[in-house]
Structure 1
């Protein structure tokens, strides 16, 4: 095997392992034409998956919710993820698993049951949804005017590629010179941002939205850390005005961990720097990684 062949990343598609640049799907796949797909992302830190079982649990639940059933079993999917990381030779990685509807076997069919579902997986070098230099000074967050798609229309707990509203929020944020955005629902309650859960801190208490949001694995980790550190935390309704009046705020996601925020619109938080509770949680999150918290060692490639 050429050592540089998978240097940019490794993918599994059509039952084969290929370099990431060779992984392609047909333009007629409903995963592309209809965004009819679910996915999950797990990260690898120093050759170890973080909370792999939790991510696999959520991926299996998402597939069941959308009636997607590729041929690979859970155990086979796990092995595929290990092999993608191993082929790419990555110490730190962003690892995705995707179930797509596929193409109908019957020409012109509009029946999802007529499609052969399939799995795509890949491992690429680590990425942060908010760059590390921005995290250092604290991200600048824009509260978008675009409302989040209602939960009753698109279930946010099923991880999906329906990002039209989130992308519109990013347009707004970038047009106003901000780093990223968070969306509210039609009733003015805070939901989530493009690829992350949002947390706010007020009077020493940590809060995260109870609606319009993925049940993030990093969100779960933050709540566990709060319990360990004696920080009161809860999942609750957060009106926009409450977020604007926060003492601190931070984003949380697999691709970046705990990421402090220093501005929300015109509001400046913590003297325009990451706040103390945000920084304490960020430090604890990565320290626990160093200690092997929820770690699954990446399996070595077999000689074959």
Structure 2
């Protein structure tokens, strides 16, 4: 299928044309957004975050993203002053300020630093909200998505879930970053990480699915509860494809008929090579393509959509 094309941006020469940001109660052009270098969000990666997409003027599954963001914040004891309704309104206003029809909209909760005279402990550091809206970002270049991603299984293991809860979307990306360098050094597009037992987890910014004999499978341990992952599981039910949420061994992944990844930054994306093995004549597989086409067609029809309120500015 041809990738959906973002709508042309309005010829906006305002300060918000490159993006709009909200930092601790203040709206500003993205270029002006800053955090103090002493804040623990920067110094200790003490941050949780979420990202929701806007396409054709509508947020996709914003309720699910806000629910996940709230769960991440509460788990990490990072709770800002803003309510979920406040955050929703902020995200709408940011997209409206930037004048975007297709957008990547991020929300972070960042820990500051302990106030002078208090114990140097995170309980004394105030969490605060950052959010921004910029033009839509594709996880991979459109030409890579069309021909299928070339992936490798990284030797770097995923941080164990006993150390860092992958369900709380966080900035602990040392393993992901190392795996990205591994993939690049091997001439691949992206990596897939395993856990210490050799089971599939996820990749940098995406969940992983494999399809064998018409059965779809996706890992359920040490992975983010991806919103696009949830969408793929729903689409499998709609299309009559069995979908199992369970451990997926590296051997099952290597031998799969099809492999796909799912991300807010692109939806379902097919894999055409894994560690040099060519799948489906070096193209995304037929069931992967069906899932991808259905996903984008339903989004065009308003599936799980919430129109952006462009009147907020």
Match of 2:182 in 1: 172
Q: 1:195 to 1:302 in 2, by over 3 A?
A: closer
> In 1, distance between residues paired with 2:43 and 2:118?
14
Cα shift readout 1:78-123 (whole Å, capped 9, x = no counterpart): 1000000000000000000100111211358431111111000000
Match of 1:159 among 169, 179, 189: 169
4+ runs deviating over 6 angstroms: none
CA contact 2:92–2:312 (8 Å) conserved in 1:
no
Q: 1:193 to 1:302 in 2, by over 3 A?
A: closer
Match of 2:95 among 82, 85, 108: 85
Pairwise CA distance, 1:73: 1.2
Match of 1:188 in 2: 198
Match of 1:270 in 2: 280
Match of 2:4 in 1: none
How much is the aligned-residue C-alpha RMSD, in angstroms?
Answer: 1.1
Match of 2:132 in 1: 122
Pairwise CA distance, 1:267: 1.3
Match of 1:249 in 2: 259
Match of 1:214 in 2: 224
Match of 2:69 in 1: 59
Match of 1:197 among 196, 207, 210: 207
2:33 is aligned with 1:23? yes
CA contact 2:93–2:312 (8 Å) conserved in 1:
no
> In 2, distance between residues paired with 1:153 and 1:29?
22
Match of 1:258 among 246, 265, 268: 268
Pairwise CA distance, 1:266: 2.2
CA contact 2:96–2:312 (8 Å) conserved in 1:
no
> In 1, distance between residues paired with 2:311 and 2:130?
19
Pairwise CA distance, 1:71: 1.1
> In 2, distance between residues paired with 1:4 and 1:265?
46
Pairwise CA distance, 1:63: 0.6
Aligned residues: 302
> In 2, distance between residues paired with 1:268 and 1:7?
42
> In 2, distance between residues paired with 1:89 and 1:231?
39
The residue matched to 1:102 in structure 2 has which SS?
strand
2:68 is aligned with 1:40? no
> In 2, distance between residues paired with 1:62 and 1:54?
12
> In 2, distance between residues paired with 1:60 and 1:106?
28
Q: 1:111 to 1:50 in 2, by over 3 A?
A: same
Match of 1:288 in 2: 298
Q: Structure 2: which 5+ residue stretches go unaligned?
A: 1-11
> In 1, distance between residues paired with 2:50 and 2:312?
26
Match of 1:72 in 2: 82
Match of 2:7 in 1: none
Q: Give me the TM-score of the superposition, normalised by structure 1.
A: 0.97
CA contact 1:54–1:217 (8 Å) conserved in 2:
yes
1:90-101 aligned at under 5 Å gives the runs 90-101=100-111
Match of 2:114 in 1: 104
Q: Structure 1: which 5+ residue stretches go unaligned?
A: none
CA contact 1:130–1:259 (8 Å) conserved in 2:
no
> In 1, distance between residues paired with 2:117 and 2:35?
18
> In 1, distance between residues paired with 2:117 and 2:54?
41
